[in-house]
Each structure stands twice: as structure tokens, then as C-alpha cells.
Structure 1
Amino acid sequence: MSGQWEVVGKKKGNSKLPVPKVSAKDNSNVKSPVNGSKIEDSYPKLPEKVAGVEPKIVQEVKKSQEKSKLKLRKPQRNDRPSEPQKPKSPKSIETGLNSIDVKEFESIYETSKNRYPDAPIVWLKELVYFLNQKMSLEIQDPVFSSKPQGYPISAVPSELRGVIEKSVKEAGKNNAQQFFDFCLTSMATDMGKGLPALGYKFFLQYIALNEPVLITSNVNKHRVLRNSYQNRLNIGLSILWAVGNVAYSDFNSGVTVFRELFLPVIDIKSYSPYILSYLKNLISNSGDGNGILTKEDFLLILDIIYTSKKHFPVDLLRELSNKVSNLKPLLFVDNKEKYHSYIELLLKKVVSTSNKSHQNCLCDILVEVFQRDSTTFATWRKIYPKNVASSVILLEFIGDNWDTISKRIDRAALKDLLNSFQDVNDELSTKKRKEDGLRESINAIQKINEKMAAKKKSSSSCRTLSLLVIIALAGLVLFDIKQNTWDNSRTRKALKDYRVCEYSQKALNTTREGLNWLDGRIEQNFPAFRKTVIDFSEPYVELAISTGKITRNGFYNMKEVVLEKYPLVLQSIESYAPGLMEQSQKALSDVYSSSVLYCNRGIDYLRKEVFVGQLSPENVQRVVIEAFNTTQQKATEYYHWIYKKVQTTIK
């Protein structure tokens, strides 16, 4: 072998094949044998006319070639097995809850509890994932505005809800707080991904209703989460709804959540209807008296109710203004707070708003403060020179509503206050720079003084007239009895005709029987309590009896003195004015007879012309009895219906 390279299998002679020359024009129509080849090019072409072959045979060959082309072009069938169908989503929340197997739900809880005994949050996560899977329906209304309060946890069957309650209680408060934060964040995340998140809402609502203080302690963290999803309306509303459930069990927690979480987004048009509805429900649930409202929060709520922002729903603002009276008792619950600090704050607030209803509400609060502590007038007197304009609004409010306000405040203290205001106004009038509202203040003070004087005059006139009427009636009765005997007197006859004595006796007997029955029941059920009450009240009863005897003896002594001195008085009057007593007796007799006559005519007219037909005493009595019987029947039916519902729920 030689050490040189050799080329094997290649002949030198015919190594190069002739390549036909193709022009550029023809090269454009030539297709690449790899990329530009067509399926038709792989079949042999038949000439139109072949020697010795008939045209029919040529056509049949072409048809067979076309069929084979179609078979090659037809896509291949996918023979992979189809995926199993997903379970259908329930049509409603109630349907989905009723379809859940409670035993399966409870077994999941028990299994995870036994597997992870020291990780309560893992138990709760397993339950909430199960609910998300079973309740995979699309919720159009994230805040359930058309449903009653407490929904959807109120729609959960009792057995299923029992498992939820048991799991949260056994997890403990600290774990429940952490799990609430986890559910709130996971709900927002899953809703952003389009995943089912209804299971989170059941646990969020239950924890918020039962542990409101735990929720408000992390309100800053919830505010950060709300800011992250503020532009996603359904997620933002769901976060507000979940945290806002605390208001239905604790008023103070509801106010905190409203101030920290709801108020910053109230100006956003898409959020304002729900936030105002939440505020309305919060005020409506404040009637239990357990909440305390600071004056700052009270003024904040009033600013929202009496706002002039146009994008707030008018109907909700109207409903809120009607519920302001529910907030006033909460403002005065804390008796330790001194009311003197309210005066200057409210006066400055009065002049800062132009809404008349808002001003009237603030003025009414100030009047309430004056009613509870009259020493607050001194605070008003002290700050009056620097708050003349705002004081004018309050003075005009007092003057316009004097008939009701005069019964609520100390009129003597108000009188002294107005006198001091007049002195201050005289001093301010001498200055070159006039205070705003000084002239209006002088007019308002004058108006109140005039009403106080007129009220005092009219009240004294009414008292005098009432006393004279009572004395005149007593004199007429005494004159009637004195002129005739008691059996023949017109007074006894009138009382007998109108059956006053009979009905009085019946009322007395009925009252006596009722008291005896009540005493028997108390003695039967609470013997020790009855004995204690008797021992405590016996000295006071004896004192009342002794006082009654002394009063009766005093009247008897007075009567004897009158009877003794009466002839002497008549004799003296007769000596000074002869015939006066006789004429007076005759005039009184005529007046009494005329009054009795017209009274009888009036009664006859009412009996014959007014109280007839449907207004007759018989019909009125029948209607009242029927209404009472119907009410009693409906109340009994309603009681039985509630009893059955409660028994069904317990079972």
C-alpha cells in the first residue's frame, strides 16, 4: 500500500453531466423540487391522445387520480380520547349549598385536623377550597345589594354552618384573624384571575360578624389591599363588603371601618351608592344603644348626609337625613365628657355650611346640650363676641321654634344670657368696625324676649282662667247640693243618667280583682320577693294613710269654719249691698240650668245626628271587638308559624 490518498469509485470519463441552460424568464416558472413541488407533479402525465388507447379509458384514469388527491388532502382524524366533562355550576347560591354533602364537608375537616393537629389554618384552607370548588358560579352582584343583611351566610344550612362555626372556634381568635387576612387577599387574587371565590366570602362574613374587633385591628392592611384593587370595581366592592360586615354586630367597629376604609373612595361615582347604603344600614343598626359616637365622627357623618355633591344618589341622601335622629342619643351616651367643648365646635360648624337643614340639625344639637347642662350657657356667653355671626343663626333657630324649645331649656338662664348679649351688643355697636351679624343678633334677641313675655302673660292668664272655672264649677255643684238634697240634686241626676257612678264602680271592682290576681300570682311564684316588697313599703303606706287622715281632718276643720263664718259673711255682704246675694244666687242658678240644658241638647244632637249608622256605639264596639279578635288570631298564627320554623331549624 502506498501512503497517498486515492479517490475510489469515480470515473474520469463521464463525471460531468450536461446541464441544460435555462433562461431567467423560464427560471421563474420552475419550482424547487423540495419546497415548490406540488402533489400533482408526483403523478405521471398522460397525453391527450395515446396511440391505441380509447378516450374513455383516459378519462377514468384521470378521475381515479383526482380521488386519490382528495384522500391525500383530507385531514387526519384525531383519535385521542375526549376529556371528561366538568361538573355543571349551580344556578343559585341556595341550590349549590343544598347540593353539598355535609358528611363529606365534615370528613374533610376531621381528616385535615387529624393530619395537621398543630396547623388550624390548614384545616380552614381545606374547607374554603372545597366550598370554592362546589360553589363555582358567577356572581353578578358582589355586595348582594338585593339580599337581606347577613346574606349569604344566612342561607347556609344549619348543619353546614355548624361545621364552619366549629372550625373557626377551634382554630382560635389569633388564627381566625390570620385566616381572615388570607381569605381577603386570596379572594381578590382569584377574582382577578376569574377563579371561583365564593367560598372565601362565607368565612369572611362569618368571622366579621362574630369577631368585629379582630377585623378592625388590621384595618390599615385592608386599606392597602383596597388601594391595590381600587380600579377593579367588583374586587374593590367585595373587599369593602367583606370588611364592612362588622357593622352588623358592632356599631363602633362599623364607624371605624367606614372612616378608614369607605370614606376615602366615597367620591368615586361607582362606589358612592354602595357606601351611602352602608352608612344608612349602619345608622339603622345603631338603635340598640351599645355604641358611642364621638362629636368628630358625628360631624363627619353630617357633612356626608347634607353634602351638595351631585353624583350622590338623592334618594339615599333623603333617607339618611331622616335617620339623623338615631345618631343623637349616641352622641350623648358618654356622660363623663363635658358638654362645654361642644359649644364652640358646633357654632363654628354652623357658620361654615350654607345648607339650611344642616344648620338646623346643628342648632338642635346645641339646644340639646343646653337642655342637658344649663351651665353651658356660660360657655356661649364667653365666646359670643368672637362668634356673633354663628350665634345669630342659633338665636334665630330658637326664636323660630320657641314653642317647643321653651319647654326644653332653662328659661331663667336663657333670660340672663340674652341680657348679657345685649350688653355685649351695645359695646360692639360703639366700635368703628362692626361685627358681622350684629344687627341681626339684636333683632333675634328682641324677638325671643317678646315671645318670652307673651308666653308668660298667656300662661298666667290661662292659669287664672282655669282656676276661676274650677272655682265656678265647684260653686255650682255646692250650690246645687245646698239648694236640694243629694238625692234630688241635678248633679246626682246627671251622673246617674250618664252612668258615671256605675262605670266608676265597675272600673274600681275590675281594678281590685286584677290587683288581687296579680298579688296571688306573685305570692305563688315569688314569695320571698313579695315579702321583701311588703316589708319595704309598709312604713311608707302607713305614712301615706296618716297623711291622708291629717288632710281629711284639715278639710273637715275648714268646712266647719266655713259653715260657722258663712252666715256672718252673708250678713256683712247684705248690709253693704242689699239684694246682691239673692241676685247672685238667681244668676248662678240660671247659668247652671242653661249650661245643663245646652249640654243635654248637644249630647242628644251627637247621639241622633253624628253617632249613627257606622259611627253608632254598637257598630263601633263591634268593629273594635272584631279587630281585637282578628289581631289576637293573627298573632297566634304567627307565633305557631315561628315555632314550627324554629323547630325545623333545630332539627
Structure 2
Amino acid sequence: PGESLHGYRICIQALLLDRPKIATTNLDKYLEVLRLQQNRPAKCLTVLWALGQAGTADLHEGLKVWLGVMLPVLGIKALSPYAVAYLDRLLMMHPNLTKGFGMICPKDFFPLLDFAFMPNNSLPPSLQEQLRQLYPRLKVLAFGAKPESALHTYFPSFLSRATPSCPPGMKRELLTSLSQCLSLDPLSFSVWRQLYTKHLSQSSLLLNHLLESWDGTSKKVRQSLQETVRSFKVTNEELAARGPGGTQDVAACDAACKELLRKMRGRGFPWPRLLLVLLVFATGFLLHDIRTHGSFQASFSARLLHSSGIVPASQQAWQRVSHCCLEGYRWLERSLPVYGSQAMSVVQPLLELLWAKGGEAAASTAQLCSSLLSWLHGSLPCVAEWVSA
């Protein structure tokens, strides 16, 4: 008691710097010590510090220590600040994350996800925000060197958490991760098909997310998604035929499936856009041709139109159209007064009759209103006397 501990600390650091596996050979024993001594935070922090020296030179061993003894005590108020700070320092000391691939498995990753994004957990907001800043690097470590063969193992836990009621930040992260699983690991589609009927509300969220991000989806993913959505559509019909149970979720999934299938069919060949491009190109060529030769008559386009017979034909067609328009105008000029007078002779009696009937109806209405007012004038004194009595 009272002796300086710096010498012991230096010895521990030197020993674990050279042989870090000494600290990680029996982590379960140290975890048991922490659980038994959690009411003595100073002793627990000493144990954590000593074990943490294994990560000074080796990311792999440092992660092993953190996952083995620090993650399990992350919910303990006195120990969680040190655990988060150690993880931050460990990842800062080892920016090359490839040496830590394979260390974080789904069993370790999803508690971290919950700690980082779920509100009202045992971490204070400041530590939760710090852990959220570290989360992208933890995600890289978890997915490893070959995410295309590992992400389907993460898909079920991502999907089960993506409920409509989960917090917005976590929902965004879950939907992004689910899309990443589908994009990188084709086996995720088969896993999704197996889980679909038990996770309808979550699948509805994911389908709508895929709809919103459709433009950024690769062709390969669209092909796999097409098969999956078609199988979902068949399943939706079967579920709808069974009865009213979960009808709302089935309807939401079915609507999203129909919209996705509509997008997959595409909009056909963009003829209007092609015609617009051709028109712009032709106009530009014509203007360049006229500017080059000084006038339209001297341009190559005019010579081509003349030689092909288009100009004479168009002039003849224009003359015919002009002649027809002129004849039509003259016919209207001659016929309009005649037909106008005939129309007036037919319509005028009807208008006069309508005017007369309207006048009679107005007179009847005025007489009725006058009678009603007279009756009210005679009745109101009686009513007033009855009320006062």
C-alpha cells in the first residue's frame, strides 16, 4: 500500500506489447472478475486497462479484448465511458481495418447496432453519439473482406429490426444495410423469400425503400428483385385468400410489389426524346449550312431539296392548301348571313316564349312572397302576446 504502480504498468505494457495473446487466452475468466467486482469500479477499470494493452500493437487482439470483456459491460454506467473511449482509441491507432476482418460476427455486431441507434438504452446520449460515429468502421469490420458471401447472414437480423415503429435514424440505417445486403450478396434474396411471410410489415418498408431508390439500383439487382417480387405477389394472393389476418400488411406489400413490377416493365422506347434530338440536330445542321453558304437558296440543303423534288412538291401542296383556304373563306362570307338569319328565325320564337314564361314565374313568386309577408305580419302580434303571457 502506498507504493507507486508505474513500474507494474510499464511491465504490463512491455509484456503485452511483445506478447498480446497473453491477455486474450482466458478472457472469460476476466469477464467473470468484472461481473463479480462491478461494484468496485476502480478495480474493474484497472483490469480493463491491463487487458486493453494487448491492442496497442495488434488490432486483432485489441478487438478480441473489446468484444470479450468490454462489450459485455457496455451497459454498466461506471465502465461504459472507458469501453467506448478504448474502442475509439483502438480504431484510431489502427486505421488499416483489414487486420480486424473476421473478428466481429452477427452475434457481436447487432448489440452494437442497438447501442448506437436505439434511444433510451443504458448509454448516455454523449456516449451513444460517440459510438454512432464509430459505427461505420465497425460495420466494415463486421462485413469483412468478402461481404458478397457474408451479408446474407446479417440480413435476418436487419430485417427483424426494421419495424414501422423503430426510430427514424435506426430505420434509415437498417434499410440502407438491407439494400446493401441485396446488392452485394445474392443469397440475401433467398433468405428474404424464406422470411417474407413472418415479416410482412418489415418487408413492406423494404419494398417501398427499394421503390424510392429505384434509379440507383443496378441491373443485376433488378433482375434478382424481379424474381423475388413475383414470388411475393403469388404469396400475397395466397395470404389474401386465407382470411383477414394481417390484411393491412399484405395489402401494403402487394401495392409495393405491383409498383415495382410496373417499374421493371419500363416505359418502352423513348420515341419523343429521340424525335426531339433528331429535330435539334436537323435544325443545327440547317443553320450551319445556311451560315456557311450565305443564304438558304445557295445552301446544300436547298440543292438537295430541289434535286429530290421535295421543294416543288411542297410548293404545289402549299398552293393547293392556300386555294382551299381561300375558297372556304369565300363560302363562309357568302353563307354566314343566310344561315345566320335562318338560325335567328328558328331561335327567336323560342327565346320569346322562354322570356314570357320567365316573367309569369317571377310574377307568381312575387305574389306568393307578398302573401307570406302579410300572414307573418298578422301572426307576429299573437305570438308576442303568447310569449309574454
The residue number in structure 2 matching 1:270 is: 78
> SS of 1:308's equivalent?
coil
- Verify: 1:329 aligned to 2:137, yes or no: no
What displacement does 1:227 show? 4.5
The residue number in structure 1 matching 2:255 is: 443
1:229-244 pair list within 5 angstroms:
229-244=37-52
**Match of residue 225, structure 2, among 414, 436, 439:** 414
**Match of residue 205, structure 1, among 4, 9, 13:** 13
- Verify: 1:424 aligned to 2:235, yes or no: yes
The residue number in structure 1 matching 2:285 is: 475
**Match of residue 127, structure 2, among 316, 323, 339:** 316
The residue number in structure 2 matching 1:106 is: none
> SS of 1:410's equivalent?
helix
Measure the CA separation in 2 of the matches of 1:271 and 1:219.
17
The residue number in structure 1 matching 2:168 is: 356
Over residues 96-127 of structure 1, what are the superposed CA-to-partner deviations in whole Å (9 max), with x where a residue is unaligned? xxxxxxxxxxxxxxxxxxxxxxxxxxxxxxxx
Measure the CA separation in 2 of the matches of 1:282 and 1:216.
16
Measure the CA separation in 2 of the matches of 1:467 and 1:322.
48
| Distance change (3 Å), C-alpha of 1:331 and 1:229 | closer
What displacement does 1:468 show? 4.1
- Verify: 1:376 aligned to 2:205, yes or no: no
Over residues 46-104 of structure 1, what are the superposed CA-to-partner deviations in whole Å (9 max), with x where a residue is unaligned? xxxxxxxxxxxxxxxxxxxxxxxxxxxxxxxxxxxxxxxxxxxxxxxxxxxxxxxxxxx
Q: TM-score, normalised by structure 2?
A: 0.65
- Verify: 1:390 aligned to 2:202, yes or no: yes
| Distance change (3 Å), C-alpha of 1:221 and 1:317 | same
What displacement does 1:462 show? 9.3
Contact 1:283 1:327 in 2 (8 A): no
| Distance change (3 Å), C-alpha of 1:390 and 1:237 | same
Measure the CA separation in 2 of the matches of 1:462 and 1:477.
22
1:248-259 pair list within 5 angstroms:
248-259=56-67
What displacement does 1:237 show? 1.0
Measure the CA separation in 2 of the matches of 1:244 and 1:266.
15
> SS of 1:323's equivalent?
helix
| Distance change (3 Å), C-alpha of 1:339 and 1:479 | same
The residue number in structure 1 matching 2:377 is: none
Q: Aligned pairs, how many?
A: 308
Measure the CA separation in 1 of the matches of 2:134 and 2:271.
40
> SS of 2:171's equivalent?
helix
Measure the CA separation in 2 of the matches of 1:386 and 1:310.
27
| Distance change (3 Å), C-alpha of 1:280 and 1:357 | farther
- Verify: 1:301 aligned to 2:112, yes or no: yes
- Verify: 1:365 aligned to 2:177, yes or no: yes
What displacement does 1:401 show? 3.9
What displacement does 1:408 show? 8.2
Contact 1:273 1:313 in 2 (8 A): no
| 1:578 aligned partner, one-letter code | Q
1:131-210 pair list within 5 angstroms:
193-210=1-18
Name the structure, 1 or 2, with higher relative contact order (CA <8 Å, separation 6+): 2
| 1:398 aligned partner, one-letter code | L
Over residues 155-182 of structure 1, what are the superposed CA-to-partner deviations in whole Å (9 max), with x where a residue is unaligned? xxxxxxxxxxxxxxxxxxxxxxxxxxxx
The residue number in structure 2 matching 1:578 is: 315
The residue number in structure 1 matching 2:69 is: 261
| 2:10 aligned partner, one-letter code | F
> SS of 1:327's equivalent?
helix
Question: Which of these two proteins has the greater Rg computed from alpha carbons?
Answer: 1
> SS of 1:393's equivalent?
helix
Q: TM-score, normalised by structure 1?
A: 0.41
Measure the CA separation in 1 of the matches of 2:36 and 2:202.
43
What displacement does 1:570 show? 5.5
What displacement does 1:205 show? 2.8
Q: Which sections of structure 2, spanning at least 5 residues, go unmatched?
A: 318-389
What displacement does 1:572 show? 3.8
**% of aligned pairs identical?**
25
Over residues 431-474 of structure 1, what are the superposed CA-to-partner deviations in whole Å (9 max), with x where a residue is unaligned? 02523722221233345456667xx5599489648844873576
Measure the CA separation in 2 of the matches of 1:214 and 1:353.
45
Measure the CA separation in 1 of the matches of 2:63 and 2:35.
19
Measure the CA separation in 2 of the matches of 1:389 and 1:307.
19
What displacement does 1:216 show? 1.4
What displacement does 1:476 show? 5.4
Moved more, 419-428 or 318-327: 318-327
Measure the CA separation in 2 of the matches of 1:570 and 1:325.
70
Contact 2:117 2:170 in 1 (8 A): yes
Measure the CA separation in 2 of the matches of 1:473 and 1:320.
60
> SS of 2:281's equivalent?
helix
Moved more, 337-346 or 472-481: 472-481
What displacement does 1:571 show? 1.6
| Distance change (3 Å), C-alpha of 1:224 and 1:320 | closer
Measure the CA separation in 1 of the matches of 2:22 and 2:149.
27
Q: CA RMSD, aligned part only? A: 3.9
Over residues 276-312 of structure 1, what are the superposed CA-to-partner deviations in whole Å (9 max), with x where a residue is unaligned? 2233444555641312132332222112212334552
> SS of 1:578's equivalent?
helix
Q: Which sections of structure 1, spanning at least 5 residues, go unmatched?
A: 1-192, 486-562, 581-651
Contact 1:284 1:323 in 2 (8 A): no
| Distance change (3 Å), C-alpha of 1:284 and 1:481 | farther
Measure the CA separation in 2 of the matches of 1:257 and 1:398.
38
Contact 2:115 2:123 in 1 (8 A): no
Measure the CA separation in 2 of the matches of 1:324 and 1:392.
26
Moved more, 378-387 or 359-368: 378-387
What displacement does 1:430 show? 0.5
Moved more, 569-578 or 293-302: 569-578
> SS of 1:329's equivalent?
helix
Contact 1:371 1:408 in 2 (8 A): no
> SS of 1:265's equivalent?
coil
What displacement does 1:410 show? 2.2
| 2:118 aligned partner, one-letter code | T
What displacement does 1:339 show? 4.1
- Verify: 1:341 aligned to 2:153, yes or no: yes
